[in-house]
Chains A and B, each alone.
Chain A
Amino acid sequence: MAAEEAPRLVVPVQRSVTLRQTVDYAMAEVLAADGEPTVHFVFMATWRGGDPGTDADRDRAEALLDQIRIWARYECEEAGVNPETIEIETALIGLESYLFSPDEYADLLTSYAADHDLDRVVVDPEYSLVGHTTLLQPLEFELERSKLAIEEAPVDRPTRRDRLVSRPNLPRFLALFGVSFLFYQILGGFSGTFDLVTGIATAAIVAITLDSVSFYRDPTLVDSPKRILRGVVYVPYLLYEIVVSNLVVARLILDPRLDIDPRLTKVRVFVGSGFPLTTLANSITLTPGTLTVTAEDQELYVHSLAPFAREGLFDGSLERWVRFVFYGREAARFPSPRERGDTEVLQEPSDAASTDADESGGEER
C-alpha cells in the first residue's frame, strides 16, 4: 500500500465541555490524511422517537449537529481545504427504542459504523450515557467482536470519573431549594418568622450540597409541573389497584380451598430508563400479587402469585399509566405487553408434560 489509508471516523457526540476539542481533533485527523477521508458525527438519542414531549430533545440534538457541521466547515477553511473533498456527515440515531445499558449504545454505534463502512471511533472523554457511565469501556468490550478501532480524543480538560455528579445549574438548584423549604415548613407546622429564616438557611444548605446528585433530569418550568400533576392523577388509580389486588390476595391467603399458582414471568416494558422505570417497577411491586424481582434493561422479571396478577401485568395498565405520567396522554395509547408479544412465563408447571405447547395467554386454573 502506498499511503496510509484514509481515515473513516465515527464520533459519538453529545453536549459536553470538551465537545469542541473532540470535533477539532477528529477534523485534524481527517484533514491531515490524503485520499477520501470520512467523518460521521452521530448523536445517540436517549429517548424514543415519537414519544410526545420529546420534540424539544430532538430539536436540541439537531441544533447540536448543525453546530458541529459549522465547526467542521470552519476547521476545513482554517486548514485551507475545500470542505467538499471531505465526507462530513451528521446523524441522529437510536430513535427506534430506548437505550438502556452501555452495551446497547455500543451495539448501536457498531452497527452504524458497519452500515457506513467506518472503522475508527473517536470518543469524547466527557461523553457519558444516561449521565453517569462512560462509553469507552463497554465499547472496547464490543470491539472484540467488531473490527472498529477506538481512541479517546486528547483534550485539555482532565477526564472526570465522578459518577452521578453533574454540574450545578439554576433550575435544579431552585427546584431543590423550593422542595426542601416547603418540607421544612411542613415539618415545622408553618409557625412564624423563626421557621422562615431557619428554613431558608436549611434549604440553601441542602440545595447547595445536594444539587448535583438529586435530579435525574433538569426540571423545567412547563414539563416538570405537568409531570407532577399527572403523577397526582396517577396516585388514586394506583391506590385503587392496590386495594383491589390486596383484597384478592387476602382471599387467596385466607381461603383454605384456594391455592396460589406462582410463576416467574418476564415482561419487556417501554418506559425510559432511570426514574420512569423505577416508578413502574415499584408500582408493580406495590400491587400485591406481582413483585419485581430484577430488571435487565427494558426487561422486568416479575414474580406473580396467581393468574389474575399475571393477566393484570400483561394487560399493562400500570405501564400505560407510567407512560402517561412521564410522557403525557398521547404516549399512554400504546399496545399492551400481551399485544406486543413482550410477555413470557419463565416457569411452566412442573407437573405439565408439554412445556412449550401453550403460550402465556392460554392459562387455565
Chain B
Amino acid sequence: MIEAIRIGLIVVAVVLGLFFTFVSATGVIRLPDVFSRAHTASQADTLGAGFALAAVALTLGWEPTTVKTVLLLVFIFVTNPTAAHAIARAAYEEGIEPWTTGDERR
C-alpha cells in the first residue's frame, strides 16, 4: 500500500516536473523579450528540476544519497535566481528597454 502511494507520488512529481519544463520552454518561445523570457526560463530550474529531484529522492527512499538530492535542490535554488538576475542585469546595463504592451513583438 505504502509502496503504491510512493510510486504514485513519484509519477505525479515526474509529470509535474515535465509540465513546468514544458511551460518554461513554451514561455521562452512565446514571450517577447529578454526580460520576460528570463522569468520563464528560471521556472524550468525551480519547479521543473525541483519536482524531478523530488521524484529522484522518493525513488531512492531513505538513503544517504537522498540527502544529496536535497542539497542539489538547495544549490539550484541559490544559483538559479543568481543566473536569472545576471542575465537581466546584463540586458539592463546594455540599455535594452523592457517590452511593454503595445510594443511590436519580435
Known: A288-B39, A293-B89, A301-B92. A263 touches B84 (CB 8 A): no
Q: Which residues of B contact A284 (CB under 8 A)?
A: 81
Question: Do A294 and B92 touch (CB < 8 A)?
Answer: yes
- B67 on the A face (CB < 8 A): yes
The 10 closest A-B pairs by CB, nearest first: A285-B81, A189-B64, A351-B102, A282-B81, A350-B102, A253-B27, A250-B23, A293-B88, A303-B35, A293-B92
User: A253, A259, A261, A303: which contacts B23 (Cβ < 8 A)?
Assistant: A253
The residue in chain A whose Cβ has the minimal distance to the Cβ of B103 is A350
- B98 on the A face (CB < 8 A): yes
Q: Which residues of B contact A283 (CB under 8 A)?
A: 81
Q: How far is the CB of B36 from chain A (nearest CB, A)?
A: 5
Range of interface residues on chain B? 35 or more
Question: Do A189 and B65 touch (CB < 8 A)?
Answer: yes
A210-221 Cβ-contact flags toward B at 8 Å (1 or 0): 000000000000
Which residue numbers of A lie inside 8 Å of B, CB to CB?
A: 186-187, 189-190, 242-243, 246, 249-250, 253-254, 259-264, 281-286, 288-294, 301, 303, 305, 347, 349-351
User: A243, A261, A291: which contacts B85 (Cβ < 8 A)?
Assistant: A291
Question: Do A294 and B101 touch (CB < 8 A)?
Answer: no
Known: A186-B68, A189-B64, A262-B99. A292 touches B88 (CB 8 A): yes
**16 A-B pairs, CB-CB below 8 angstroms?**
A246-B47, A249-B27, A253-B26, A253-B27, A260-B36, A262-B33, A262-B35, A262-B98, A264-B98, A281-B85, A285-B81, A286-B77, A291-B42, A294-B88, A303-B35, A303-B39
Q: Which residues of A contact B85 (CB under 8 A)?
A: 281-282, 285, 291-293
Q: Give the CA-CA distance A151 to B62 in the complex, in Å.
A: 64
Question: Do B81 and A286 touch (CB < 8 A)?
Answer: yes
Q: Which residues of A contact B100 (CB under 8 A)?
A: 261-263, 347, 349-350
